[in-house]
Chains A and B, each alone.
Chain A
Amino acid sequence: MTKIVQMSDVHLGFAYAGLTDRHRQQQRQQDLWQTFLNALAYCQKIDAQLLLIPGDLFDTPNPDAALVQDVQDAFRKIAPIKVVIATGNHDFAYAGSCWDEPQKWPANVHLFTGTWSKLDFPDWQITIWGAGFTAPYAKISLLKPVTPQTNHWQIGVLHGDAFTPESSPYDPLTAEQIANSGLNWLALGHIHKRIQNQVGATAYAYAGTPEGHGFDEQGPKGVLVLDFIPGQTTPTVTFQPLAQRQYEELSVDLTGLNSNSEAAAKIETMLAEKYGPDYQRHLYKIHLTGALPTTALITEAGLTAQLSVFDLRLRNETHLAIDYQQLAQLDTLAGNFTKKVLAKIDQAHNDQEKAQAQLALDLGLRAFQEDLTNAH
């Protein structure tokens, strides 16, 4: 049985510029590097024979020389595990690029930096096929069909777009093409989400990025472990989570709560339930919903201060717990105001206008209670 690890779209050197806090940026950069190292250590731990990296190992085509060297050293250390890399649209190979100096890459690293070619591992009855990006775009598919062999695994390593092949300039791969590839397994990179599929006799998967880069890459992230068991035509695939932190988005109903501490407690309970006792290490986008009492003193700033998680983005979608109809009956300034805005909600042409008027009502009534700038 041959064990292979597939790790895609690491994007080493990614800056995490989306995080405004510099320290958190640095921490995430460290996280990314740590996950990369952990993945290599994991390969050793499970005695993998091969590590497939189908592109975007680096975030840019001109990664920092020190980073490149660190990566080379890291690969060197896991020999005799063979590392097979195909360049992607982010780290495409060109004259003078870091891939352009094969002598600097350790002997256990094989690079696919050009057209479709192969690498034989007769001992394991495996042939690895691959191609690499040589420019930001590869508008023509890089995949070429191979001849299937019995009792021999044909494996492809490629960066490409199997989801929008009709319009993608990133090595478009049609289902037909994959089905006719003659490959048993196609290790793909480019889509950062974990996706596994099979067309014809060819199974393929995007391992997804091993460490998320933003809130559009939510949930557990890691690598795929492929067990090529004799007698089967496709490998057995296991997902191994490795990410240091996860990006998570959720809604919390704060109805009836009066203070930041109450709200914080509710959120913490919910996070611990969903993400375990180690929930504090993750990054969250939380939508605050529900009806707050008029007397409630809950502010985004106050809540943020009380919630101890690595990164937090709050979306305040709460409204005041007020009986608007009753308030509208009063001949007071607030009553008159409520009456007028309710009329506008009724007359709204669309949901957006309606939501806007609803928010105007909420903000207006809030303004009778407190300074709005503090709350924001």
Chain B
Amino acid sequence: MRIEQLNLIDFGMFHQFELKLDPSAQLIYGDNEQGKTTLLSFMLLMLYGDQGRDRKGQLTIRSKYQPWSGREMAGSLILTAKNHRYQIEKHFGKTFSKDTTEIIDLNTDEAVPLPPKMEVGEWLLDLNLAGFLKTGFIGQPGIFNNGQGQDDLTEKLVKNLTQSGDETVSANEVLARLAAASTDLRSKSGNKGQLVAAKDQLEQLQLARQATVARQTAQTEQVAQLQELSQQRQQRDQLQTKLQQDQQAQQSQQRQQLLQAIQANEQQIQALHALSFQPEQVPTILPKLQQLVQDAVAANQAAAVLTKVNGQNLSLPISEADYAATAKLQQQTEKIQQLQNFFQQELDPAAAQALQQQAAWRELTQQQKQLTEQLAPADQLRAQAEQLTTAQQQNLQQQQIHQDRLDRSQQHTAANSRTAQQAHKNNQQQKLLLGGGLLLLGIGLILVIVKIVFGYVLAGGGLLLAVISLLRRSTPNSLVSDADDFSEQKAALQELQAQALVLQQQAADLAPQLNQLKVTEQQLQQVVHQIQAAQPRLATAWDRWNTNLEQWQTQLANTDLQLPELTLATAALTELKNQLSLQLANCQQQLIQQLHAKQVADFTTYQVNYQLQQKDQVQQQQWHDLQKRQQTTQAALLAYYQQLGHTEVTNLTQAQQELATLTRVGQLYQTTQATVASQRQVTGIKASSAELAASLQQATTAARLTTEQRHQLQTQLKQFPTDLDDQWYQLQHQLQGFGRSVDEIDHDIHDLIETVNLLQTRYQSLTLAQTTLQQVIDERRKYFAPSLKEKAGQYLATLTNQRYQELLIPKSFALEVRDQGSYHEADYLSSGTADQAYLALRLAITNLLTNKAGQSSLPLLLDDILREYDDTRAANAFRFLKSQSQQHQLIMFTCHQNLADLAAKNGFVVRTL
């Protein structure tokens, strides 16, 4: 490449500044601040652009050379390279990315595109900026680097020897990249890196897998063990539950009992409250009230006795003897009452009936008497008729006898005939008896009416006779006679039949008279019948009367109306007295006809009255005393109630009721209180009734165990190990610490092995690449090193007029120069010589690197490189450099006038700014 022309359109101090360059060698001279560094920078910027801040963070070329005109930074170059002539125009923006580059092929006048991401220098020189700075640019340290020591520079230079010109990156960089990628996988120490981590992870996973497999195997046993333990626990729990249930049942029972006791107690407290008593008052009040009530009651009872006796307000104690006497009096009163009743209900009506019957009977006998008188003149007639009848009968009888004998069948006729005869006879006798009886009865009755006892006897006797007569009449007689010889009978019978005809004639004559008589007799007969009917009625009535009378008399006679002696007159007798007097009055009224009884009653009345009067007086006094006592005690009692605030108690009954209630309630309260206290002490339960009730509601009652059962259960329970639960939980925990499954770990292992293999392959490939690249580098260095030594030696000899001919580059990169058989470090030499050595080395490297076929020649930008040289050395250097201008365009800058002169003498075109 040869640069023909620089055109600084706007760059730093320059504006539309044009500078034509010689294609061979030139020196641009100018004093300080004349812009030679600006020109140098312009060329670098045009070829390589702005590479950002330098390493010290100093201003970049871009900011350093902003146009003083304030316009946009811009410039152009005309150059030839690769057999083309180009115009390159650049406009610089604020930043690198805003820069624009335009390339025009001046041969064809066409725009040529710059390959992407490529700078002009890279495109045309096949060198990046770093490469160019190490080859084409030789300058004072400090412009583009930090001025490190020469050794460092040497090292860089030499290392770049291994880099051919077509590589945009140093071998070192490539190695570093490979190494970095390798280190990413595995650090130098082998402790870090992706591959190391992955391998570690894999190892851990494999260990985890082993552990998991082992654990799973163990688990099979653990599961069995767990089963065993579970069964044991279940058995134990069952035992415990049984015992607990028992205990709970006991507690429940106790609680139930306690609750009941509390409730009972509370009930009593409530009852006390309802009675307006405070439970705590009970122990003091109760005995006192009891005493007071007892007193009042005693007084009251005393009075009550009197009250009981007389049924009134009076009340008096009475002895047993008195009571017996009183009872006797009552008995007697009752007896009198009975007598009275008897008289009224039995005796009196019996008498009335008897009198009625008697009257009826008397009428009948009167009729009988009249009829009997009518019958009296007919006696003769009757006698005749009787005789006739008798004859007829006898005749008939004989006929019958004969007839019977003749005809046995005629017996009955005869018998009948006899029976009728006998009846007639009987009738006659009866009439006599009846007449007598009735007479006697009449007399008796008359006597009875005048209340003479004998009359009764007489009347009774008459009645008896009458009755006997009537009885006789009803008694039939029967006789049986026999018949005689039959043959005689027939004749006699005929005679008798004739006789019978006569008799019959006579009888027919008598018949009308007899008929009249019969009518009368029939009338009489009827009356007699009536009398006969009345007779028993009358007798019965009289009997009843008599019997009752007799009874009443007997009772009356037996009634001991002699009153017993009363030891204590009783007030109760007042009523009795009244009653008795009433009864007696009745009795008297009833017995008014009975003088004797009346006298008895009067006496009795008198006696009773007297005794009662006596007793009444004593009793009155006692009653007064008792009443007083009753009032006092009751008052005291009521006063106490008043004091207690129970004003509603106004009498003893209430007081008693109240006390009874209070006593009952109070005692119950005390009892229940004591029960609660003792149950609490025994069971130790402190819960309130509400808590108890709540707990009991939930509790279920279970049957209690027997002591033996309980012992058995406890013994069985003791046989279980105490740490059964711990064992179970431990085992459960072990099972639960299951972690990940083998399958899952296998997944991960599978994935990880793939990763490890990939990384491993990559690592090995990187290692292979590195070692191979290193080998290539070493080989190339080997290949370059002798040439470099030779070339640098030549150049150094030229520069030093053959004084020094050999240059050595040891591994330390401290340049050594051979001087009279021995090597000296460059620093050991004078600074001028050292500079010569570096220049020689630098050019040797540049030439070695850029002598490739087809490669464009490199313009050498030399920044005042000879300022430390003396004139001799400088002249040598110019000569030497001029010889290089065949190969390179030389563009050298200096601010030293003497160098400009020397340059001109040695064929350099000199341009002065």
- A: which residues have CB within 8 A of B? 14-15, 17-18, 59-62, 90, 92, 94-96, 134-137, 213-216, 315, 330-334, 336-337, 340-341, 344, 352, 355-357, 359-364, 367-368, 370-373, 376
Contacts and interface: CB of A to CB of B under 8 A. Distances in A.
Contacts of B181: 363, 367, 372-373, 376
A47 to B, nearest CB: 34
B686 to A, nearest CB: 37
Contact of A371 (B180, B227, B728, B741): B180
Contacts of B764: 356, 360
B740 interface: yes
A135 B219 contact: yes
B738 A333 contact: no
Contacts of B741: 59-60, 90
B223 A216 contact: no
B738 A364 contact: no
Interface string B868-911: 00000000000000000000000000000000000000000000
Given A94-B735, A135-B219, A337-B772, A355 B761 contact: yes
B773 to A, nearest CB: 5
Contact of A363 (B230, B740, B766): B766
B286 interface: no
Contacts of A134: 223
Contact of A336 (B736, B748, B780): B780
Interface string B219-255: 1100110110110000000000000000000000000
Interface string B728-746: 1000100110101101100
B740 to A, nearest CB: 7
Nearest to A361: B769
Given A17-B740, A94-B223, A360-B768, 8 more contacts: A61-B735, A94-B735, A135-B223, A214-B751, A336-B779, A337-B773, A356-B768, A372-B178
B424 interface: no
A367 B738 CA distance: 48
Q: Taking each of A62, A96, A332, which has the highest tally of chain B beta carbons within 10 Å of its own beta carbon?
A: A96
Q: Taking each of B230, B758, B765, B775, which has the highest tally of chain A beta carbons within 10 Å of its own beta carbon?
A: B765
Interface in B751-806: 751, 758, 761-762, 764-769, 772-773, 775-777, 779-780
Contact of B166 (A136, A332, A356): A332
A355 B220 CA distance: 46
A214 B775 CA distance: 44
Nearest to B732: A96
Closest 7 CB pairs of A and B: A95-B230, A364-B769, A372-B181, A359-B765, A360-B768, A136-B216, A360-B765
Contacts of B777: 333
Nearest to B852: A331
A334 B167 CA distance: 8
Given A61-B738, A337-B772, A331 B761 contact: no
Interface stretch (B169-177, B340-348, B468-476): B169-177
A364 B167 contact: no
Q: How would you classify the secondary structure of chain A's contact residues: helix, strand, loop or mixed?
A: loop
Given A95-B229, A333-B780, A340-B775, A62 B735 contact: yes
A58 to B, nearest CB: 11
B151 interface: no
A315 B166 CA distance: 32
A333 B772 contact: no
Contact of B177 (A15, A357, A372): A372
Contacts of A14: 744
A344 B163 contact: no
Q: Taking each of A135, A216, A362, which has the highest tally of chain B beta carbons within 10 Å of its own beta carbon?
A: A135
B156 interface: no
Contacts of B411: none
Q: Taking each of A59, A137, A332, A357, which has the highest tally of chain B beta carbons within 10 Å of its own beta carbon?
A: A332
A35 B779 CA distance: 64
Given A61-B738, A341-B772, A359 B761 contact: yes
Contact of A332 (B164, B227, B769): B164
B146 to A, nearest CB: 24
A95 B167 CA distance: 74
B184 interface: yes
A332 to B, nearest CB: 4
B230 A96 contact: yes
Contacts of B217: 136-137
Given A336-B780, A373-B184, A95 B169 contact: no
A45 B227 CA distance: 41
5 contacts: A137-B216, A216-B750, A367-B178, A367-B773, A373-B177
B736 A333 contact: no
A188 B182 CA distance: 49
A95 B779 contact: no
A367 B175 CA distance: 8
B314 to A, nearest CB: 87
Contact of B772 (A15, A94, A95, A364): A364
B747 interface: yes
A333 B735 contact: no
Given A94-B227, A333-B780, A367 B769 contact: yes
A301 to B, nearest CB: 13
A286 B736 CA distance: 38
B772 A17 contact: no
A94 B184 contact: no
Given A340-B772, A359-B761, A364-B772, A214 B747 contact: yes
A59 B767 CA distance: 43
A364 B230 contact: no
Contacts of A213: 744, 747
Given A92-B223, A95-B229, A336-B780, A368 B169 contact: yes
B330 to A, nearest CB: 89
A108 B178 CA distance: 65
Given A94-B227, A367-B178, A60 B768 contact: no
A245 B523 CA distance: 154
Contacts of B732: 96
Nearest to A330: B166
B383 to A, nearest CB: 136
Contacts of B326: none
Contacts of A136: 216-217, 219-220
Contacts of B184: 373, 376
Nearest to B768: A360
B162 interface: yes
A97 to B, nearest CB: 8
A112 B748 CA distance: 31
A248 to B, nearest CB: 15
Contacts of B772: 337, 340-341, 344, 360, 364
A340 B761 CA distance: 19
A214 B741 CA distance: 14
A330 to B, nearest CB: 8
Nearest to B175: A367
Contacts of A137: 216-217, 220
Nearest to B171: A333
B180 A373 contact: yes
Contacts of A214: 747, 751
Contacts of A92: 223
Interface in B814-843: none
Nearest to A215: B751
B170 to A, nearest CB: 9
Nearest to B178: A367
Contacts of B226: 94-96
Given A62-B735, A364-B769, A333 B162 contact: yes
A59 B747 CA distance: 14
Interface string B142-177: 000000000000000000001110110101001001
B227 A95 contact: yes
Nearest to B167: A333
Nearest to B166: A332
Given A18-B747, A372-B178, A333 B216 contact: no
A360 B769 contact: yes
